[in-house]
């Protein structure tokens, strides 16, 4: 009689930026995914204020871990290992999560797993819903999900967030090569900065997506950057400058016309045109990758992956090349979260990439600039 393999449960923590995130995963299945958001705290600064973030993480971390376990109906004894983001991210923020994970590892004698935050975004499309209901195992659903998720390597991971815009070749789980990246602002950061120019608050990305639906994306033609550069790198600061000059010009025109500021339709058109400009640049470089590299699938992750237009554009391109496209099943897995850290943790646990000796644990330190593909 074949015994069904029960996957180990990983407790995962991410405090890389402004969200205190704790999750419990079983293999690729997300049991709970809790995010204590600090968005309201940082709104007044128009971005993340590191020392404020650290203090909030300190206050939130213990209750968030407790809440995650409670929601999952689990105790520490049920956990196989603890995984935590070690980098990249804000140093003061990372420290809080790492210290908590070390405390858990020591107190409860659990293996410790260091995780790269970008690897989390890369593997986020792998996440599966928890199909186990109170009535028992929903086998049919689980079977369907498993079938749908058979993967072919190499995969092109596209991470588009507030801090990163990366093309990463996933050769196999744990083997990555970053082949392209933004040399300045990240795509999400660029959208946030443009949104700020037209007073959309922080983060502006989701508002830009909504406003873009009501706007004319062809009213203002944003430049296409880096076309003369042969590599897969991107640059968004020129788009930001173009937007700044455009908004200044539009405001001057409005004043001449006797208006107080930009009318609503103009703001919608700026949003639609800016979004088109940012996504057109990503698509241009993505197409270059698809032309020149062996890619079997495209996986999209990161905060901006929540954008439906971006997903549509990438899905369409993948279809044109006859390859699969995947993105996380919920927006909660796009913005920063610990479920994706748990997914990576589960893969590392399977490969035995864990730390068990307290002496080795002491050596683990935050790595704010940890680049994907490099050893820690």
Query: Does 336 engage in binding with Mg ion (CB under 5 A)?
Result: yes
Query: At its nearest, how many Å lie between ligand AMP and the CB of residue 164?
Result: 7
CB of 187 to ligand AMP, least distance (A): 8
Q: Does 33 bind ligand AMP (CB under 6 A)?
A: no
Q: Which of 120, 188, 225, 277 binds ligand AMP (CB under 6 A)?
A: 188
In whole angstroms, the minimum distance from the beta carbon of 22 to ligand AMP comes to 16
Place of tokens 């999750």: 23
| Residue 375: exposure state from Cβ atoms within 10 A (0-12, 13-18, ≥19) | exposed
| Number of residue whose CB is nearest ligand AMP | 303
In this structure, what token pair is assigned to residue 375? 């050893």
Site for ligand AMP contains 157 (CB under 6 A) = no
Q: Is 161 in the site for Mg ion (CB under 5 A)?
A: yes
Instruction: Report, in this order, helix, strand and coil percent for the chain, each rounded to 5.
Output: 45, 20, 35
Cβ 189 to ligand AMP, closest distance in Å? 6
Q: Which of residues 209-238 bind ligand AMP (CB under 6 A)?
A: 209
Question: In b/e form, how buried is each residue of 354-374, taking b as 16+ CB within 10 angstroms?
Answer: bbeeeeeeeebebbbebebbe
304 binds ligand AMP (CB under 6 A): yes
Judge if the upstream peptide bond of residue 154 is cis by omega within 30 degrees of 0. Answer: yes
Q: Determine the Cα–Cα distance for residues 180 and 160; give it in Å rounded to an integer.
A: 12
205 lines the binding site for ligand AMP (CB under 6 A): yes
209 lies in the binding site for Mg ion (CB under 5 A): no
Q: Which of 173, 336, 343, 349 binds ligand AMP (CB under 6 A)?
A: 336
Alpha helix locations (H) across 74-186?
A: 91-107, 117-123, 139-148
Instruction: Provide the minimum distance between the beta carbon of 306 and ligand AMP in the complex, in angstroms, as a whole number.
Output: 4
Count, residues near ligand AMP per rule CB under 6 A: 20
From the list 95, 119, 192, 217, which residue makes contact with ligand AMP (rule: CB under 6 A)? 192
Out of Mg ion, ligand AMP, none, which partner does residue 215 contact, by CB within 5 to 8 A per kind?
none
Pair 167, 156: CB distance under 8 Å: yes
Alpha-helix residue ranges (DSSP H) falling in 198-260: 205-212, 237-256
Assign 38 to helix, strand or coil: coil
Of the two residues 16 and 266, which places its CB atom closer to ligand AMP in the complex? 16
> Within its chain, how far is the Cα of 290 from the centroid?
22
Least distance in Å: CB of 189 to Mg ion? Answer: 11
Stretch that binds ligand AMP, among 34-42, 137-145, 155-163, 228-236 (CB under 6 A): 155-163
With contacts defined by CB under 6 A, name the span among 6-14, 106-114, 156-164, 349-357 that binds ligand AMP: 156-164
Prior bond to 203 cis, omega within 30? yes
CA angle 201/205/211 to nearest 5° reads: 85
Between 274 and 304, name the residue whose CB sits nearer to Mg ion: 304
47, 51, 52, 54: CA torsion to nearest 10: 110
Q: Which stretch binds ligand AMP (CB under 6 A): 4-12, 138-146, 205-213, 367-375?
A: 205-213
Within its chain, how far is the Cα of 47 from the centroid? 17
Partner touching 191 among Mg ion, ligand AMP, none, CB below 5 to 8 Å by kind? ligand AMP
Binding site for ligand AMP (CB under 6 A): 161-163, 188-189, 191-192, 203-206, 208-209, 302-304, 306-307, 335-336
């Amino acid at each position: 009689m074949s015994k069904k393999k029960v996957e180990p449960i990983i407790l995962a923590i991410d405090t890389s930026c402004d969200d205190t995130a704790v999750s419990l995963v079983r293999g690729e299945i997300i049991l709970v995914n809790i995010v204590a958001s600090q968005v309201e705290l940082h709104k007044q600064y128009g971005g993340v204020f590191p020392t404020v973030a650290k203090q909030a993480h300190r206050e939130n971390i213990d209750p968030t871990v407790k809440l995650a376990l409670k929601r999952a109906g689990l105790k520490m004894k049920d956990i196989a290992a603890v995984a935590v983001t070690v980098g990249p991210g804000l140093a003061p923020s990372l420290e809080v999560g790492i210290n908590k994970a070390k405390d858990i590892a020591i107190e409860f004698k659990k293996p410790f797993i260091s995780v790269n935050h970008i690897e989390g975004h890369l593997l986020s499309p792998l996440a599966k819903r928890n199909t186990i209901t109170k009535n028992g195992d929903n086998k049919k659903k689980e079977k369907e999900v498993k079938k749908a998720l058979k993967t072919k390597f190499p995969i092109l991971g596209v991470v588009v967030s507030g801090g990163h815009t990366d093309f990463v070749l996933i050769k196999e789980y744990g083997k990555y090569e970053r082949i392209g990246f933004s040399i300045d602002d990240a795509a999400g950061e660029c959208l946030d900065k443009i949104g700020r120019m037209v007073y959309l608050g922080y983060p502006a990305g989701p508002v830009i997506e909504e406003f873009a639906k009501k706007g004319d994306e062809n009213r203002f033609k944003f430049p296409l950057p880096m076309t003369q550069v042969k590599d897969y790198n991107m640059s968004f600061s020129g788009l930001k400058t173009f937007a700044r000059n455009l908004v200044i010009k539009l405001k001057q025109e409005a004043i001449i016309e006797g208006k107080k500021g930009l009318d609503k339709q103009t703001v919608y058109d700026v949003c639609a045109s800016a979004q088109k400009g940012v996504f057109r640049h990503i698509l241009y470089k993505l197409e270059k990758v698809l032309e020149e590299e062996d890619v079997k699938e495209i996986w999209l992750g990161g905060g901006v992956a929540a954008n439906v237009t971006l997903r549509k554009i990438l899905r369409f391109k993948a279809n044109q090349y006859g390859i699969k496209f995947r993105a996380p099943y919920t927006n909660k897995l796009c913005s920063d979260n610990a479920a994706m850290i748990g997914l990576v943790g589960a893969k590392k646990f399977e490969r035995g990439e864990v730390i068990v000796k307290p002496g080795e644990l002491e050596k683990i330190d935050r790595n704010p600039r940890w680049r994907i593909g490099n050893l820690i």
